[in-house]
Chains A and B, each alone.
Chain A
Amino acid sequence: MKRFALAGNPNCGKTTLFNSLTGATAHVGNWPGVTVDKRDGVYKKCAEPVAIVDLPGIYSLSPYTPEEVIARNYILDEKPDCVINIVDATNLERNLYLTTQILEMDVPMVIALNMMDAVERQGDKIDSKELERRLGVPVVKISALKEQGLAELMDKAFNESQKERRGTTVLKDTALAHLIGDLRIALSGQNVGNPLFHAIKLVEGDEIEVAMHKETLPMVEEFKKTFEDEIFGNDFEALVADGRYKYISKNFAPVLTRKSAEKFRTTRSDRADRVLTNRWAGIPIFLVVLFAIFHLTFSEDFLFISTFANWANSPLPTLEDLGLVVAGEPINYGVRWLATIYDGAIFAPGVIVNNVWNDMIVGELFGWIQGLIEGSGMAAWAVGLLNNGVIEGLGAVLSFLPPILTLFLFFSILEDSGYMARIAFILDRMFRRFGLSGRSFLPMIMGFGCSVPAMINTRTLADEKERTATVRVIPFFSCGAKLPILTAVAGAIILHFANGNGSADLITYSMYILGIVVAIVSVLLMRATTLKGETPPFIMELPAYHAPQFKNLMAHLWDKTKHFIKKAFTIILASTIVIWFLTHFGFDWRYLGDEEINDSILAGVCKLLQPLFTPLGFGSQLGEYGWVFVVAAVAGLIAKENVISTFATLGACLIAANIPALSGFDPALLEDESGIQSVLAMIYATGITVPGLISFIAFNMTTIPCFAAVGTAKSELGDKKRFKWTLVFWLAASYIVGAAIYTIGSWWWTLFIWLAVVAAVTCLIVFYNKGKIKIKFTKRS
C-alpha cells in the first residue's frame, strides 16, 4: 500500500484534512519514544487504498524540537511515496518557509492550498497556477473544512507518487549556492540519500547533520574561514533562513494580490482579541471563562437558580417534597430520569451527563449483571470477586468518564478556537517566576477537576522538563474525588473537637490552598535541582480565532474515550482485582466477608506499615486500631473515592469489634453517606488528635494519586526512570507535608526546627548551584 505523509504548520488545517481523508479508519498512537501524537489512517477513494500518516505540526525542519525531528526523520528514513504539504493560504509566507525545506528532499510532493475561502472572503486572490509554476510541484486548492478539492488533491498526489522527484532549492541565488552544490556532489559521491537536503542542513550547522557527516564537515569549515557577510558575518544558519524568506517574499508572495495595500490589517479576529486579551479585561474574562467551565461540568446548582430562589425565600422543592421520592426511593422509572436533571436545584449539563451515565446506564447495566451473578449459585468468594472486585472496580473507573470527557470537550473548544494560546499569553508573566510558561497553567487548573485529562493535556507543553514538573504537581491540585475525604474529616473534626462550632469549609479551603502552595514550592525546588534548565522560550504563534469544528471535537473525544477505556480494562482492572484479593483473604487463605477486613492481608500489611506513619500522627501512637487510617490511605491509591467507602467499612468493623470507647455509638449513623460518622467512630477508637487528622488529609491530598492518574502519568512521562522518581517524589512530598503539619500542630516550637531545615536546604541548593557555575567557568577558562 502506498503511504502519503501530511506535513504542514500547526493550525493550518492539517488535522481537519486528515480527519476528512481517513474518517473512521483513523488511529491515534504515539511516535516511538516521545509523547507526540501519531495519527494514521487509510484513504479509500483513490485508484487503490492509500495509508495516510499525519506528521506533527511544525514550522521548520530544525533539530530543536522533537516534533521537527520526527517529521524530518519520517520523510528521510521511512520514505513516504508522496508528501502532501498543507499550506494555509491566509498565511502564505510563513507556511511556504517549511515548503522550501521539504522541496529540498528527494520525495514526490504536492501542495494543498487550504483556507482559500478565507482569502477570497477578504477580497484577496491567489494565482495557484502561477505558484505551481514557480514551485515546480503541483498545487491544488482545497477546503479541508468543506471537503472541497480533496479528490483532486489525492489524484494528483497518487499521480506524483508514481514519479521520481529530485530535491530543489531556493538558495540558488545566495552566496552559499556554491558551497551547497559542492557538498551535494560530495555527499552523493558517498551514496548519501537526499544529498541536497543534507548538504543544506550541513551548511546550517545542524547538530544532527554535523554528527552524521563528520568527514564532510571540513568543507563547510574551510568555506567559513574565507566568508564574511556584511549582516550575518559567517552565521550560515541565519544566512540560510534569511535566504529562504527573501526568496519567498520575492518570488512566491507576489502570487497573492491583496485588496488593500495596508500590511497590518485589523481582522475580525483582531477585534475579538482586542477585548479578550485587553489590558484590564483580559484577566477577568479569563477567570469568568474558567469559572464557567467548572460550573458547567461540576455544579449541582446550575446558574445558581436554587441559591437565588433561597434568597427570595421561595426555595425550589426537592423531589421528596413533591412526593416523587418516598423514603429515598423514586416512585417510578420516569422520576429516576427526572432525578438526573433536577432535585431541588437544576444540575449543570456535566452533572446531568454524569448522572445519566452512572445511574441510568452503567449503574443499571452493572446492577443487572451483578444480579445475574448473585443468582447463579457460584461460590461466595467468586460472587464477591466478580461483583465487588471486578464490576465495582470497573464501575468506579468508568464513573470518571463523564467528567473527564466534559472537561476535555471544553478544553478542546478552547484549544481549537485559539483562545488557549491567549490564556498562555495572559498568564505567562506569572508562571515564568516558577520557571514555567503560561501554557502550564491550564493542565494545572484542570487538575482541580480530574488529574487524568490534566496530565494528558500537558502535551501542549513543548519543553520536556516543564512537562515533567507539571505532571508531577498536577495531583496537588485537589481533584473532585478528594473533596469527599476533606469534607468527611473536616466535618468530624468540627463535630468532635469544636462541638460543632466552627467552619468545616474553612478547613477544606485551607487544604486546597495548601495543595497550591505545595505545588509552587515543588516546582521551584525541582527547577532548582533535578529539572534545572532555562525557562522555555515563548515564541509562539497566536492563531486567528475561529469557531471550533464539531467533527474535530468529536474525533478528539473519541480518541480520549478509547484511550481511557483501554486503560480501564487492562491495568486498572488488574489492580482492582489484586486489591480485592488483599482485602478479602487472610494470611491463611480464608475468604473474608466485608466485615472481617481487619483479618485481611491488607490489614496485616498496614499493621506492619503503621509505625512508618508515626511522625505523621496516624501511626503507632494510635494503638491497636490505628492501622485503619493507614488502610484508608492505601485504599486511596486505587481511587480516592475508596477512602470514604473504606471509612464506612472500617467504621462498621470497629463497632462490630466491641471497642469500649465506641460503646453507645449508634451503628445506624454510619449509613450517613458523607462519612463524617465513620470518621467519628475512627476518632473514638483511636484517640487521634486534630493535627493527626489534618496531617492525614494533607497526606492523602499530596501523595501518589489514584491508579488512573498514575497510569496516565506513566504513559505521559514516557521515560521509566522519570516515572519511578515521580512516584518517589509524590511519596516524599506527602510524607514531609504530613510530618510538618503533625509536629508543628502538636508542638508549636518544632516550627523553628522546620524553618531551620528549610533555610538550610535553600542555602545548600543556592550555594550548590552557584558553586557549579564557578566550576564551569574555571573549566572554560
Chain B
Amino acid sequence: MQKTLDKFAIGERGVVKAVAGEGKIKRRLFDMGITPGAEIMLRKRAPLGDPLEITVRGYELSLRITEAQCVTMNTADETTAGEAKQ
C-alpha cells in the first residue's frame, strides 16, 4: 500500500517510493539519505504533534509534516511481500 510518510503510525516501517517537493527541500531530503529504496521507521511525533522523528539509514532525523508529505512510501506489508518474491 502506498501513502505519504506523514500518514505513518508510530513504529510503522516502509520503503521510500518517491520524493517530491521544491528543489531545495527535495535535495536536502536526498542528502540526508531519504532516497527511493531507503527503509524508514517513524519513531515518534513531537509533543505538539509536529515535527516527526524517523530512523533512516541507521540514524535519527527530524522533519516537519509538510516535509514528510513530500515522501511517498511503500508500507511494510508490501515490502515483506516484495522480499518474499525475491
Where the two chains meet, the residues of A that have a C-beta atom closer than 8 Å to any C-beta of B are 59-60, 62, 64, 90-94, 97, 231, 237-238, 241-242, 245-246, 249, 263-264, 270, 273-274, 277-280, 282-283, 421, 425-426, 428-430, 432, 537-544
Contact = CB atoms under 8 A, between A and B. Distances in A.
A59 B32 contact: yes
Name the residue among B35, B39, B50 with the largest chain A CB count within 10 angstroms: B35
B6 interface: no
B36 A242 contact: yes
Interface string B37-62: 11101011111111101010111111
The 10 closest A-B CB pairs, nearest first, are A241-B30, A429-B48, A60-B31, A542-B60, A282-B47, A93-B57, A264-B41, A245-B35, A242-B35, A539-B63
Contacts, number: 127
B51 A245 contact: no
B45 A279 contact: yes
9 contacts: A64-B24, A274-B44, A277-B46, A279-B44, A421-B62, A537-B63, A538-B67, A539-B61, A541-B32
Contact of A64 (B27, B44, B45): B27
Nearest to B45: A279
A245 B33 contact: yes
A97 B33 contact: yes
Name the residue among B13, B28, B46, B67 with the largest chain A CB count within 10 angstroms: B46
Given A426-B47, A543-B60, 11 more contacts: A92-B58, A238-B26, A270-B60, A429-B49, A430-B48, A432-B64, A537-B64, A539-B29, A539-B61, A539-B62, A539-B64
A542 B54 CA distance: 9
B30 A238 contact: yes
A61 to B, nearest CB: 9
B37 A246 contact: yes
Contacts of A429: 46, 48-51
Given A93-B58, A538-B62, A241 B45 contact: no
B62 A263 contact: no
A540 B64 CA distance: 10
Contacts of B43: 270
Given A60-B31, A425-B53, A245 B38 contact: yes
Interface string B13-28: 1000011000111111
B60 A544 contact: yes
Contacts of A94: 32-33, 57-59
A474 to B, nearest CB: 24
B27 A279 contact: no
A286 to B, nearest CB: 9
A428 B64 contact: yes
Contacts of A263: 39, 41, 58
A282 B60 CA distance: 17
B83 to A, nearest CB: 12
A542 to B, nearest CB: 4
Contacts of A246: 35, 37
Contacts of A91: 57-59
Contacts of A60: 27, 31
B59 A541 contact: yes
B45 to A, nearest CB: 7
B38 A425 contact: no
Given A94-B59, A241-B31, A242-B30, A542 B53 contact: yes
Contacts of A279: 44-45, 47
Nearest to A249: B37
Contacts of B29: 539
